[in-house]
Amino acid sequence: MKDVRITKNSDGVYDMKLTAGKFEMCEDGTEAANHFVIRLLAGKGEYNLGGLLTNKDDLGTDWYGIIFNVEMGKPEKTLELRRVILETPGVLSIEKFVWTQTGHSVSIIGRINTEWGTIDVNQEIEQL
């Protein structure tokens, strides 16, 4: 494992990722994968930092308005999760996307095409 840096790599990209509570170096499309997981974890409206940032109110995943709303169907929830992934810089398309929800836990299995190639995703997200 390489040392963790807070500087840009030779391509001008910040290249750290968090794995099991430890920072590691990103390679290939894992930058995009880590970025959309962070975007999935952030709830809608969290990016505005309590009103300190403008034009950020609609960013993030609408966990409580869509995903955990029992009145919303699976198509609306799927659209919300796919939207967050597809709006991530570096993501080109979704090749495979399967998700399940149990309470406040969402599991996503997929294959994402990024500017760096195709990456497999197997992620479980639990919101408290």
In sequence order, the β-bridge partners of residue 113 are 93, 118
Model pLDDT for residues 70-82, shown as the tens digit of each residue: 999 999 999 999 9
CA 72 to the chain's CA centroid: 21
Residue 4 binned pLDDT confidence (cut-offs 50, 70, 90): very low
Asked whether 69 and 117 are in contact (CB, 8 A), the reply is no
Residue 13 binned pLDDT confidence (cut-offs 50, 70, 90): low
Model pLDDT for residues 21-68, shown as the tens digit of each residue: 666 656 556 667 777 777 787 777 666 566 666 666 667 788 889 999
Residue 12 binned pLDDT confidence (cut-offs 50, 70, 90): low
Q: Which two tokens stand for residue 75?
A: 């198509």
CA 112 to the chain's CA centroid: 11
In sequence order, the β-bridge partners of residue 126 are 105
- Tell me what pLDDT residue 110 has: 92
